[in-house]
Structure 1
Amino acid sequence: MTKGATFKALPAALAGLALMAASVATAGTVAPDSVPIEDMELKQSLTGTAGDAVAGREAFADRKKGNCLACHANTDLNEQLFHGEVGPVLDGVGDRWDEAQLRAIVVNSKDVFGEQTIMPGFYTMKVGINVAEDNQGQTILTAQEVEDVVAYLLTLKEN
């Protein structure tokens, strides 16, 4: 192999290494169709990485991600406009539910509260019918975003 051919093959080899590294990084992530919710709890982390409460607060408030404020009021996010009144107020939710319960609720609330709840499942492929074509085959939040939102919810304690 000539020196020029070696350098031309280098970007392809590096791309392959990057793809392998990405696969290893997500290898520990539980797939949305394999989430083991049992007895209204999900004890196992979806990623094996601790949630980041600051990132979880951002996802919670992001109208294009969690959009949790569309249904829930939350005093911690008073700077945000238009808190919803459909779901319960989330002040003190970190005292009412433990980590495993909150994770199960965020992943797929229908597995916890039953099919009658209007809360969507944020990490499930069971999303109903008439899903926009751009969103088919995707979860609302990533596994790590679920862990982040759960970490944030655990910070919401009674005053």
Structure 2
Amino acid sequence: MTRKLLFAAFFSVAATGLHADVIAPDDVAANEYGEVEVSLTGVSGDPARGEEVMTNRGLGNCIACHQVTALDDYPFHGEVGPTLDGAADRWTEAALRGMLVNADNIFPDSAMPSFYRVSGFVRPGNGYTGRAAEGPLEPILSAQQVEDVVAYLLTLTE
């Protein structure tokens, strides 16, 4: 048991050191168009992990609202948002990052969740309980998960 705790503590400290340059949600700077030009982590995103986030119902679940032909192996693509086919041809990396961080900055009144936002909500819920959140909010996705999704979206060209 002691070894497990020491092992977990070591990796917790190591991971903290690796993410020292992560931009906190309330510190993200968007330009006048809502684009976020600076990486949230300073680490390149991994398209394979981005695909996992996009298709995982417990994470981003992007395909619940967006159709993506490259992800046809996953069922139940939505039609609420635009197709993401050719996303890299339509939007810049900064625009894609901005949409994920806070879609309302680019598309006012969007139904898309703000995946990396923790303040300024009217009435955030506590998970899926229907009750108001207690304590500080966590973003839906981590900074690295946002970068991973951006990396995946940049692979979607026509």
Query: How far 1:21 moved relative to its partner?
Result: 3.3
Alignment correspondent of 1:4: none
Give the helix-richer structure, 1 or 2.
1
Q: Relative to 1, partners in 2 of residues 1:128 and 1:54: Cα closer, same or farther, differing over 3 Å?
A: farther
**Aligned 1:72-87 pairs, distance under 5 A:** 72-87=66-81
* 2:89 maps to which of 66, 80, 95: 95
Q: What runs of 5+ residues in structure 2 fail to find an aligned partner?
A: none
Q: 1:54 corresponds to which letter in structure 2? A: A
**Separation in 1, partners of 2:35, 2:142:** 19
Alignment map for 1:1-159 (pairs within 5 Å): 20-39=13-32, 40-114=34-108, 116-126=109-119, 127-132=121-126, 136=133, 137-158=137-158
Q: Distance in 2 between matches of 1:85 and 1:98?
A: 22
1:134 deviates by 7.7
1:87-122 Cα shifts (integer Å, max 9, x gaps): 0011001100010110001111011111x1110100
TM-fit CA distance, 1:43: 0.8
Q: Partner letter of residue 64 of structure 1? A: G
The code of the aligned residue for 1:118 comes to A
Q: Deviations over 1:114-147 (max 9, x none)?
A: 1x11101001113541412589411111000000
Query: Does the C-alpha gap of structure 1 residues 14 and 86 become closer, same or farther in structure 2, counting only changes over 3 Å?
Result: closer
Amino acid at match of 2:94: A
* TM-score normalised by length of structure 1: 0.83
TM-score by length of structure 2 reads 0.84
Larger Rg: 1
How many residues matched?
149
CA distance in 2, matches of 1:157, 1:54: 16
Identical-residue share of aligned pairs (%): 45
Cα distance between partner residues in 2 of 1:12 and 1:76: 41
The 3 A distance-change label for structure 1 pair 14 and 83 is: closer
3-state SS in 1 of match to 2:154:
helix
Task: Determine helix, strand or coil for the equivalent of 1:131.
Answer: coil
